[in-house]
Amino acid sequence: MDKSRISAIALTALATFALGACGSDDSGKSASGADLVKKGTLTVCSDVPYPPFEDFDKASETGFKGFDVDIVSEVAERLDLELEIKDSSFDALQSGQALNAGQCDLAASAMTITADRKKNLDFSDGYYDSKQSLLVPADSDIASIDDLDGVKVGVQQGTTGKTYTEENAKGADVVTFPSDAEMFQAIKAGQVEALLQDLPVNLDHTADGTFKVVETYDTDEEYGLAIKKGNSQLVEDVNDALEEMREDGTYDEIYNSYFSTEN
């Protein structure tokens, strides 16, 4: 997946939070003994917006909506825990910094499981298979990744889309953004001519016909829910919940509500 740069201010805030968390009396364990940031609550961090996986929704109980949100809501319910979701930069999540600082128990943010990320994070079983894709304006002559020589291509910091672009888009002028929101604004303003990132997110940008996906790339990516390194009981609990969801059809229900029209 793809996302953001942390400023010095953000780093300071994160460090302050970590110190506060260490002295908090709210921390506890789940019924199974898994370590939790806040007693009786599954605290989840996500980089928002990144539709259809996560987006803001003032009308919802958590303040958020999306595929990842529905998945972790169901997981929390099956673990008999309340759910709290926090917006966070993707770079802080994929690096392990937010989880290791005690900001949250779990990161649900369309995050691809990679060997490099596993050095700093534990992951649940995979819960979504993804592809990368190339988005361009509807009237663009760009038809494939081979047409990107000298072209400004927007990617997200810390993501597999950025890595794929750097490795495969020969001659492209790669422009890095902190999040999808900034990337999409940039292509709408003509500051970049293409976006390379996760297929479902790019498909969301084609809704009004102004943009089109011209190519997809099967990269064998699988998203996982990231958990603080060493919190093996929570990994086990989350995996049990995901397995139950698959067995009783709940996972398919959630999946089909977002992706049933995808090829």
pLDDT digits (tens, 9 = 90+) for 20-68: 444 444 678 998 999 999 999 999 999 999 999 999 999 999 999 999 9
* Mean pLDDT of all residues in 207-231: 96
Report residue 2's pLDDT band, with 50, 70 and 90 as the boundaries.
very low
Q: What 3 state SS string does the chain have?
A: CCCCCCCHHHHHHHHHHHHHHHCCCCCEECCCCCEECECCEEEEEECCCECCCEEECCCCCCCEECHHHHHHHHHHHHCCCEEEEEECCHHHHHCCHHHHCCCCCEECCCCECCCCHHHCEEECCCCEEEEEEEEEECCCCCCCHHHCCCCEEEEECCCHHHHHHHHHCCCCEEEEECCHHHHHHHHHCCCCCEEEEEHHHHHHCCCCCCEEEEEEEEEEEEECCEEECCCHHHHHHHHHHHHHHHHHCHHHHHHHHHHCCCC
Residue 254, pLDDT > 80, answer: yes
pLDDT at residue 18 in the model? 44
Residue 17, pLDDT > 60, answer: no
Rounded distance, CA 156 to CA 47, Å?
A: 12
User: pTM higher than 0.95, yes or no?
Assistant: no
* Mean pLDDT of all residues in 6-31: 50
* Mean pLDDT of all residues in 115-120: 95
* Mean pLDDT of all residues in 168-188: 96
pLDDT digits (tens, 9 = 90+) for 71-112: 999 999 999 999 999 999 999 999 999 999 999 999 999 999
Q: Which of 4-13, 41-50, 56-65, 171-180 has the lowest mean pLDDT?
A: 4-13
pLDDT at residue 28 in the model? 86
CA–CA distances in Å: residue 100 to residues 19, 22, 116: 12, 11, 16
| Orientation angle between helical segments 67-78 and 232-248, nearest 10 degrees | 100
- pLDDT above 90 as % of the chain: 85
Average pLDDT, the chain: 90
pLDDT at residue 8 in the model? 36
| Orientation angle between helical segments 250-259 and 67-78, nearest 10 degrees | 170
Q: Is the bond leading into 49 cis (omega within 30 degrees of zero)?
A: yes
* 51 phi/psi in degrees, rounded to 5: -65, 145
* Mean pLDDT of all residues in 232-240: 98
pLDDT at residue 27 in the model? 74
Rounded distance, CA 124 to CA 142, Å?
A: 38
Rounded distance, CA 30 to CA 247, Å?
A: 23
| Domains defined for the chain, CATH in brackets | 8-127+224-259 (3.40.190.10), 130-221 (3.40.190.10)
